[in-house]
Amino acid sequence: MRETVVLVPGLLCDAAVWAHQVAALSPSYNVIVPDLTRLGSMAAMARDILYEAPGRFSIAGHSMGARVALEVFAQAPERVERLALLDTGVHPVWPDEASKRQAMIEISANLGMTALADIWLPPMVQDGLLDTDPALRAALYAMVERMTPAIHLAQITALLGRPDPRPLLPLIRCPVLIGVGALDRWSPPAQHEEIAAAIPQARYVVFEGSGHMAPMEASEAVSSALLEWMHQEGQPE
């Protein structure tokens, strides 16, 4: 039976963020991209993934999705063969985070998802990329516009209620990939160096020329890293 890999999208993202990786992994693996638009807590999102996934699987998360992947590991470490965390963080809620996220919620609620994308997307990618790569711009905007203010609110609620995974990191023994865009302004490389240092034998990879949306901005490099990660011997049963 083929191994299963779960690819967890981040805030305001869906399967489109993983399109290149799904294409790269599908010839050899069963790939699942969960829907995180129906639930308002990371614990519930993790339980939903565990319900849908087979008994054992590998899991990769991007941004908020990586925090969900850590919660999956926290709930059922014996079921996770490999773990990959991309463009993310493990810090608790910042003192001013709730107010900043509330401002974004008000934009989506009052002005709509396109208005939110106009403000939210530019810092998420390499500076100026939305102007020079119309195909990527169209894909990113379409993804955000598939979301709704209600989904945005639920996901922000999940983020603001997130657990602190830092005590978990030294306990992780399965193969771990930590990856980040070299130009990620939202979750910078230094943040990922600290995560990698806290996890025994984690592999740390920087995706050159990419901002926060590494699976789309550096799609070839991310797919290559995930394929190499999937070739590592998994956690023993």
Nearest to 153 by CA among 41, 73, 70, 78: 41
Give the whole-angstrom CA distance, residue 131 versus residue 136: 10
Tokens of 183: 């130009």
CB 54 within 8 A of CB 4: yes
Tokens of 77: 């470490």
pLDDT for residue 1: 81
Beta-carbon contacts of 132 under 8 Å, excluding residues fewer than 6 positions away, are none
CB 84 within 8 A of CB 21: no
Give the whole-angstrom CA distance, residue 159 versus residue 153: 10
Angle at 231 between CA 31 and CA 44, to 5 degrees: 40
CB 195 within 8 A of CB 177: no
Q: Are strands 80-86 and 57-62 parallel, antiparallel or unpaired?
A: parallel
CB 213 within 8 A of CB 184: no
Give the whole-angstrom CA distance, residue 21 versus residue 215: 7
pTM (predicted TM-score):
0.97
pLDDT in tens, the chain (237 residues): 899 999 999 999 999 999 999 999 999 999 999 999 999 999 999 999 999 999 999 999 999 999 999 999 999 999 999 999 999 999 999 999 999 999 999 999 999 999 999 999 999 999 999 999 999 999 999 999 999 999 999 999 999 999 999 999 999 999 999 999 999 999 999 999 999 999 999 999 999 999 999 999 999 999 999 999 999 987 666
Query: Strand pairing partners for 14?
Result: none
CB 211 within 8 A of CB 129: yes
Query: How is domain 4-93+161-230 classified at the architecture level of CATH?
Result: 3-Layer(aba) Sandwich (3.40)
**Residue 83 φ/ψ, nearest 5 degrees:** -135, 130
